[in-house]
Amino acid sequence: MWLAGRGSADITGEAAECGMLGYGKADQQSAGIHTRLRARAFAFATGGMRTLLVVCELPLIFPSVVNAVLARLPDGYTEANVMITATHTHCGPGGYAHHRLYNGNAGGFRRRTFEAIVDGIVEASAKAHADLAPATLLLGHGELRDASVNRSKQAFDRDQEEERAFFPGAIDPQTTLLRIVREGVTVGAVNWFATHNTSMTNTNTLISADNKGYAAYHWESREEGLVAAFAQTNAGDMSPNLRLKPGHGPTEDERENTRIIGTRQYEAANVLTGEPVVAALDHRFTHLHLSRVLVRPEFTGDGRAHRTSAPIAGASAFAGAWADGPAFKGFREGHHNPLWAALSRGLVYPLSPKLRDAQVPKALFVPARGMVQERVPVQLLRIGRLYLVGIPGEVTIVAGLRLRRTVAAIVGAELRDVLVAGYANGYAHYVTTPEEYDAQEYEGGSTLFGRWELPALCQTAAALATAMRDGVPVGRGIPAEQPRVRHSRHNPPPDVPHPGRRFGDLLSLEIKDGRATATFVGAHPGNDLRRGGTYLEVQKQENEGWTIIADDGDWSTTFRWSRHGRAASTVTITWESAAPGTYRIVYHGDTADGPFTGSTEPFALDLDRTPGDTV
């Protein structure tokens, strides 16, 4: 018999003046909220065993977060049976890693964002554990072909013909849904589908859960009590920007694209009724020193043993993925970085044959030792007939296929029931096939540990699968040491109101084409992150009272902060109305002296139309 539980909690970090993680752009600093970020946790138990799966609307997962969460979970939950994954939105605040590379544009480690994330994950997990109750699990598979495109086709075309034939559209169309059902009602759902969470571009400065966040919000808003997560799988070379240009595809509007790609994921998932899953849980877990793996000939593909190397970023990694957002000027994808290629061929590789064997033909640019995670977690979770291969990186679809086939062949599972759970438990950048690596597109340049990284991971996944099949333990390995962090020195000046005004004063209200825009004398949002709360409310007058119909977690609202002078703030709240009525917009702010509230006067809307929410 299955026991299953689910829980959800807010994990939104600093909504102002915090560098956003994902695109690596110095000027992408948070300036408000498009949608709040959430952690959704799912607990499973049967036969004295338990597992916890947490899907977080975050750019990435780091060991800093995992270790802090594990220390606060109930007894029985460990690094081996807990999987914490990220949806990989590129519009979340950064600064929560203990590896300095990821805190660069955040000015260092941001404790308040880190604590909001950890507190939220722990809260969601505690809810899921407390919610454990008899349930039926249903697993279903389908296809979705208009929500992704291969952004690295040149590299994909180097893969084996049979593998390319497996993905005739150069995408992974499989969408998988695990339902938690009680008394005929779906109360929990986890979907896996491969597409980058990058519909919002690197010019956006509002915190956003992006297309996967919209899919979850869309479904949950239609079914009361439902917790629905849209998780990642092998999305390394899958873009939602169907026209292979940031913010383009299927429309020219990034916000509308977010909604459409999210809705398509929801619709493809919701129709999957699934078949019952026999109660069985198992897990295997190890820490792999990815810089020092001797890969056996049966995994390398050329009949010889090879070694991985210390992490080094290639010049093409700094070009960025052009379909989702170029990175730094002066760098190009592929073999088009002649200076760095010449230095690598003429100086570095001749001096180090071992490095050459691991990293050629990469045009070496930045050694990353000490800057990124080298001892990485690799995990295999079994939930009935579903097997999740937890990889702390961005796995391309063919790399994912090789991992899936490796595990499926050993445990005797159907291939469709074995998924790569990318962005799980840590982050070690990209995972490409050796053939894709040779193309040195963005993904290959970002495969830090060299050409044999995927074979090393396949070898490790095979060991976990064999141990699971045979019912024997595996060695834990040596976890990474937690590096010292450099804390951010960001301290905004004490808040002052606009001259002649008070905090919360309404500066303007504009109502046009079904949209209400209210501007207030505000305060810095960093004074209180309002985790689990809101900076705004849209209230509707009903029966001589006011009912809250939307807050800053809703798709229909945006909360934007801006600096006014040196220490004053302006807050602009927009709301897309959906029905006629009498409304008011309320703003909640905080200063060092405590909270305050501002509000518009009641205003009437008499719409000739009701905006739809369909594609």
Q: What is the dihedral of CA 430, 465, 41, 59, to 10 degrees?
A: 0
- Evaluate whether residue 477 is within a structural domain: no
CATH number of the domain to which 569 belongs:
2.60.40.2300
Q: Are residues 281 and 428 in the same domain?
A: yes
Q: Are residues 62 and 147 in the same domain?
A: yes
> What pLDDT does 459 receive?
98
Q: Are residues 126 and 214 in the same domain?
A: yes
Look-up: residue for tokens 């950890």? 118
Which H or E run contains 411?
helix 397-411
Q: Are residues 30 and 83 in the same domain?
A: yes
Q: What is the β-pairing status of strands 227-231 and 185-192?
A: parallel
In the chain, what percentage of residues exceed pLDDT 70? 99
Give yes or no for a contact between 441 and 316, defined as CB atoms under 8 angstroms apart.
Answer: yes
Residue 219, CA atoms < 13 Å, CB-side half-sphere: 26
- Evaluate whether residue 350 is within a structural domain: no
- Evaluate whether residue 155 is within a structural domain: yes
> What pLDDT does 608 receive?
60
Amino acid at 499: P
Centroid of chain to Cα 303: 37
Cβ neighbour number for residue 351 with a 10 Å cutoff:
8
Q: Are residues 444 and 558 in the same domain?
A: no
Q: How many domains does the chain have?
A: 2
Q: Are residues 549 and 454 in the same domain?
A: no
- Evaluate whether residue 292 is within a structural domain: no
Q: Are residues 446 and 589 in the same domain?
A: no
- Evaluate whether residue 23 is within a structural domain: yes
- Please report, for residues 21, 116, 242, 262, the alpha-carbon distance to residue 257 in angstroms, rounded to integers and kept in the order given: 20, 28, 10, 8
Question: In this structure, what token pair is assigned to residue 225?
Answer: 């009590």
Question: In this structure, what token pair is assigned to residue 476?
Answer: 């834990």
Give yes or no for a contact between 390 and 379, defined as CB atoms under 8 angstroms apart.
Answer: yes
Q: Are residues 70 and 205 in the same domain?
A: yes
Q: Are residues 176 and 261 in the same domain?
A: yes
> What pLDDT does 57 receive?
98
- Evaluate whether residue 492 is within a structural domain: no
Three-state DSSP at 91 gives: coil
Using 70 as the pLDDT threshold, list the residues of the chain that sit under it: 607-615
- Which are the catalytic amino acids? 239
Residue 379 pairs in a beta bridge with 285, 390
Three-state DSSP at 533 gives: coil
State how far the Cα of 29 lies from the Cα of 202, in Å rounded to an integer.
Answer: 10
Q: What is the pLDDT of residues 331-383, one digit of tens each?
A: 999 999 999 999 999 999 999 999 999 999 999 999 999 889 999 999 999 99
Give yes or no for a contact between 8 and 40, defined as CB atoms under 8 angstroms apart.
Answer: yes
State how far the Cα of 561 lies from the Cα of 328, in Å rounded to an integer.
Answer: 27
Nearest residue to 334 via CA among 440, 435, 443, 237? 440
Cβ neighbour number for residue 116 with a 10 Å cutoff:
23
Q: What's the DSSP call for residue 412?
A: T
Q: Are residues 59 and 155 in the same domain?
A: yes
- Evaluate whether residue 453 is within a structural domain: yes
- Evaluate whether residue 455 is within a structural domain: yes
Q: Are residues 519 and 465 in the same domain?
A: no
> What pLDDT does 213 receive?
98
Range of the domain at 10: 2-285+373-409+417-470
Q: Are residues 422 and 562 in the same domain?
A: no
pTM value?
0.97
State how far the Cα of 454 lies from the Cα of 307, in Å rounded to an integer.
Answer: 11
